Structures are given as structure tokens and as C-alpha cells.
Amino acid sequence: MEGITGGLASIALGAALLLFGKNLRLFGAAAGFFIGFVLTQQLFPGTSVLLTLILSAALALGGAILVILARSSLQLFIQVVGAVAGAAVVLWLLQSLGIASGLAAWIIALVGAFVSFGLMARFYNLGIVILTALVGAGLIVKGVGTLIPLGDGVGTVLTLALAAGGFFYQRNR
């Protein structure tokens, strides 16, 4: 039951992010949820789904509140959130492909964080669209993966396809 609840919550938040990702409060909440989900699995493997969901929800609430509180330096804050979300996407991608783990994965994730920060600094609106599409797609695939076992390649292809669809939808909206 816990896996179904976590999967459905992840799918719902991911779909909202794919469709309405330009809403910065939603972006902060979804990034917090995704970061909590990925980091809990990376740092504490074998954690129950309920505890993972609670920690992810707490980070989601924290992300939304921080976006509201950081009005004066919102662009810098969004860049930092984008960097952390970029690192979480890289960690998830590495985990789903089974390419790297341990210290190597964290070093690659750090590179992803720097790239995401630079993307957000240079192309703020485009960066938000790209990151919300990637995080939203990642959340949907994570949720579907808890309900239906997906192969590594299937999950990656599905994530990239959903991210591309979300990107084009948000850009044309």
C-alpha cells in the first residue's frame, strides 16, 4: 500500500510539474520532493516507502516555503535549487542506467549541479523549463517504477520522452 501511495504521489507531482513548471512555488516543492526521494534512496537504501514519502514531503514543503521567503534574491535561490535538482536528476539517471555508484556518482552529480547552475544563471526562463521538464518526468517515471517494474533502458527512454514533451508544452504555452 505504501508503494502505491508513494508512486501515485510522485506521478501526480511530476505531471503537475510537467504542465505547470513555470510556477516557481511548484518548482520549489517538486524539486524538494524529488531531492528527498533520490537522496533518501542514495543515502539510506532500504528505507521504507512511508519514511521516504514523509522526508520527501517535508523537503517539498521546505522548497515551496523557501521560494516564497526568498523574494528579494529569488533568481539566485532558483539557481541554487536548479543546481541541486540537476544533481538529483544526474544521480537518478546514473542509478537507473547502473553506470556509476558511490563516490564516482557523487562527483558526476556535482558536475551536473554546476552545469545546472550555469544554465539557470545564463538562461533563467529556459533553465526553469528544462529542469521542471526533467524533474517532472523523473518523478513520473519514479512513480510508475514503484507500481510497474520498468527496465533500466525503458525508464530512461520514458523519462527523456516525457521531458521532451513537457519542455515543448511549456515553451509553447
d(CA 2, CA 113): 31
pLDDT at 1: 40
pLDDT at 24: 75
Q: Residue 17: which of 113, 153, 159, 152 has the closest Cα?
A: 159
pLDDT at 168: 92
Per-residue pLDDT of the chain (173 residues; tens, 9 = 90+): 456 777 787 888 888 888 887 777 777 787 787 778 777 777 777 777 778 878 888 888 888 887 777 766 777 877 887 888 888 888 877 877 777 677 888 888 899 899 888 888 888 788 788 878 888 888 888 888 888 887 767 888 888 899 999 999 988 87
d(CA 82, CA 142): 19
pLDDT at 71: 67
What is the residue type of 30? A
pLDDT at 17: 84
* DSSP one-letter string for 6-23: HHHHHHHHHHHHHHHTT-
Phi-psi region of 23 (alpha: psi -120 to 50; beta: other; left: phi over 0): beta
